[in-house]
Structure 1
Amino acid sequence: MTTLEQLSQTTGNLQQTVTNEFAALDLAALNYKPTPESWSILECLEHLNRYSRYYNPALSNAIAANSDGNYVPSITYSWLGKKSLDMVRPQNGKKHKTVKHMNPANSALGPATIEEFLKHQQDLQQLLQVAKSANLNKKAIPVEFFKLLKMRIGETLEFVVIHQERHVQQALRVKQELSAKAAA
């Protein structure tokens, strides 16, 4: 299985998880916060929506500009790509402070946040398909918070998916805490 196929499969799993685990919850459950500093389920998804609003169009433009038939199926990683991926891997339990405009804490959020997340996942699935004709090793995506730095198309696709996996898992932990609290 190629990296793009793996990313597509993970994206599909994330769509299913969000639909199955969160779509039927009421607004109080979706906005439940285990602690005042932690994020609710909707805040986790809104954080991802904010990243998708930037990265999906950036990826779309980069893929379109670099789809000249020189498809390279394997991804090579820059130091920036490796560092970014290591930081957002779900296995990395270390908390990271997010940049202010990407922090959804204390936002007024509702079910539209879930709908937007699922729409971004559909867009990402299309990008992963179109990327099969792109040079994945082309440095073409400006980093959201420091646009002078650029990541490669392939590593950015992987960053987006892994970052989403991290925060969907975070949202699932919030749901578990809410269930445990309700059962107590």
Structure 2
Amino acid sequence: MENKNWILTSSITGCLSLVSYTVALIIDLDGFIWHLNSFSIGVLLGIALYSLSKSLPKTVLSDVGGILSLTGGIFMSYMLMLQHGMVAMNMDYEIGENMQIYNYIQLSTDIAFDFFIGIGLILLCIQMIKMKGMIMWLGIIGLITQVLQIFFNLSTFPINPGLKGYFDVGPLAAVWLLILFVGLPFFIKRLNADQA
């Protein structure tokens, strides 16, 4: 029963994080709702990936992968708080070139988020590859996606790869996460049925 709770927690918080992310991209929010929605994305994603680690067989890979992913979620929320602070600061003061210093701090925090989540997901994907069925295939795709994401992010550090003209793996990773979070309860149920 505990495993079922972790699976549902991963699926629900993961889907909520992706909904919050989508809302942040397409709806022009402001004030309290803007802050709450944005700051929740990383917290929800961290909880979702930590819960995923608890849904997988207990190994060093799943334990460390869950902790690193949770840390990455914290970095994501922190990065978004920095972005909101920069927007507020830019609106309140004429800071011109000094803003570039703050922008590099925010960009570095963005890469820290990708790095911790990426390493965490690599470990979780290796654990998923050891399983059977759709979970295994999602693990293979996720592993490739995360290795590419880390490679491009570190190659263009601290600038986002997309801004440097390289392939931005982020949207592909988001689609992978959507498939994982929506399908997780079904994939695990099917895996358990096949093993029975």
Structure with the bigger percentage of strand: 1
Structure with higher RCO (Cα < 8 A, 6+ apart): 1
Return the index of the structure with the highest Cα Rg: 2
What's the TM-score, normalizing by structure 2? 0.34
What's the TM-score, normalizing by structure 1? 0.35
Structure with the bigger percentage of helix: 2
